[in-house]
Amino acid sequence: MPAPATPAAGALRRSFRRTLFKAAIASGLAAALLAVLARAAFYAGWLRPVRIAGGSMAETLVGDHWRIHCPRCGIWHRCDVEQLPRDHRVVCPNCGSDHDAKNVSEPVRGQRVFIDRWPAFRGNWRAQRGAVVAVRRDDAPSGFAVKRLIGFPGETIAIRDGDVWLGPDRIYRKTWNELMAVAIPVHNDRFRPAPTPHPLFASSYGTADSRIEESASSGIADGQAPRTAGWRPVGEDSGWESTPHGYRWRAKAPHSNRSGRLVFHTAAGNGTIRDFDAYNQALSRRLEMVDDLILCLDAVLEDSATLELELRPARRPGVRFEFSKSRGCQVWSLAGSSPRLLKRIPLPVVHAAGHRRRLGVAHCDRQAIVAVHHREWTRIDLDMVENGSETGSETSSENRDGTGSTLDSKTRSRRAVSGPSVAIGAAGRQVELADLWIGRDIHYLTDMDRDGPHSWRLGEDEWFVLGDNAAASTDSRAWRSNHVRSRHFVGVVHPL
């Protein structure tokens, strides 16, 4: 029969267990700290600053640049330090007015970044499509260049109509979050032209409200081009009126089923959006029509109201997004003589009266995207719609140019639409809009040399990288050796 444990022996065992538990915790913390330090060793740029040089990745990452304040609409925009024209006259990307930047600009140093070298250590670059990467280049001042990883070994990269294709039937498509990360602003309605001209701006313009009133009195088809970019109602009785933060629509007559339209016009006097980039003010080139468009806004709909958002690209069939409380969201294709319903989706339930929804729609990468409160809600493959099949193999087999369309590029250019690319319609009861924002996707170009190649076949261990500033970037489109090999990768670049 064992002897009963003494109080001293029990206390000794409890003390031993406490000591063992503390040692285990200390060992765990030490291991975790060692793992964190080991992982941090793969980051470059924390202690010694790494700054972007040049503008090939603008506006995602920018080097030394000028920060310019537009005296006409009040927005701030950027221009590469080497792209400021000699006469200092620049064009505002928001309102389209030109002004002298000499007294309304300030120099800003290049953006700080850090480089995560862990993917280079692991070699898992196939998981990084769309990531911003640093690659070794002997011709770069810092020894490496920062670009976006697009093409993988074995793929045939083609660039047509601003889009990147990864093969004859496969376009490079982005999610809503990826699209917004690279979106280039076209117009922000928060920054409307000032009521009176700024002293540094010689021309005279009307106020934001008068701009709408004057256009409403003459209509959109009178041939008189607006002097600044902005929204204009169609017709005298459109029902649209401006508010401090947006626009409100009300039917002119009670119980009227008549709808009203609000269209976006560029400073050139039409609605065709082109790939102008304010970061390249001194770069002289022909501007291309943009097919990939984005519209975001806050909307308040009364119970029986309907809101229609239309995106009509230059060379492709348009898409209409129809929102109402009773039917949710309906997406229509505008190809053909009459609209065709593509998809009907429910929207989040709103119980509070007057509650605003942040709506986002996009016609990009041959897909229609709907986002609600900055979250992607649905995505529709428009190629399948145009081809009339699930796979789209019938049209793809007839076309080998990588565009997904049986029309050649000259025919598509001749079919370019005229008039507004972005339009808003309203019907039923009151609709109130605020914080309207128009953007576009990156419009990729083949090369600054238009006689250069339009497609690139990647062999084994050959990768394709592009700069976000497509008009000014030197990358795999123009490098003598177009491909990048695995050993050239330095790491993934993240802004600080």
Does 462 sit behind a cis peptide bond, omega within 30 degrees of 0 on the bond before it? no
Neighbours of 111 (CB within 10 A): 18
136 falls within a domain:
no
- The pLDDT of residue 410 is 35
Rounded to a whole number of angstroms, the distance between the first and last alpha carbons of the chain is 70
- The pLDDT of residue 482 is 65
404 falls within a domain:
yes
Taken in order 342, 437, 54, 200, the sign of the CA dihedral is positive
492 falls within a domain:
no
37 falls within a domain:
no
Neighbours of 17 (CB within 10 A): 10
Q: What is the DSSP string of 397-439?
A: HH--SSSSSSS-HHHHHHT---S-SEEEEEESS-EEEEEEEEE
- The pLDDT of residue 8 is 72
- The pLDDT of residue 5 is 56
Residues lower than pLDDT 70 in the chain: 1-7, 10, 34-48, 194-227, 253-258, 349-354, 386-419, 447-453, 482
> H/E element holding 144?
strand 144-151
Say what the pTM is. 0.81
Neighbours of 218 (CB within 10 A): 13
- Determine the Cα–Cα distance for residues 388 and 317; give it in Å rounded to an integer: 14
- The pLDDT of residue 195 is 57
218 falls within a domain:
yes
* SS3 state of residue 291: coil
Q: CA nearest 286: which of 445, 95, 136?
A: 445
Neighbours of 342 (CB within 10 A): 18
In whole angstroms, what separates CA 115 from the centre of its chain? Answer: 23
Domain that holds residue 346: 181-440
- The pLDDT of residue 121 is 79
- The pLDDT of residue 304 is 86
- The pLDDT of residue 400 is 30
Give me 267's structure tokens.
């400073």
Going by their DSSP bridges, the two strands 319-324 and 240-242 should be labelled as unpaired
Residues 6+ apart with CB under 8 A from 374: 358, 360
- Determine the Cα–Cα distance for residues 32 and 475; give it in Å rounded to an integer: 40
Length of the chain counted residue by residue: 496
- The pLDDT of residue 201 is 29
User: If you ran DSSP here, which 8-state letter would residue 198 be given?
Assistant: -
Domains of the chain: total: 1
94 falls within a domain:
no
- Determine the Cα–Cα distance for residues 176 and 184; give it in Å rounded to an integer: 14
Taken in order 16, 19, 21, 27, the sign of the CA dihedral is negative
447 falls within a domain:
no
- The pLDDT of residue 332 is 96
Residues 6+ apart with CB under 8 A from 477: 159, 445, 446, 447, 452, 456, 466
Q: CA nearest 120: which of 138, 110, 134?
A: 134
433 falls within a domain:
yes
- The pLDDT of residue 224 is 42
Q: Residue 390 belongs to a domain with what CATH number? A: 2.60.120.560
63-75 per-position pLDDT tens digit: 999 999 999 999 9
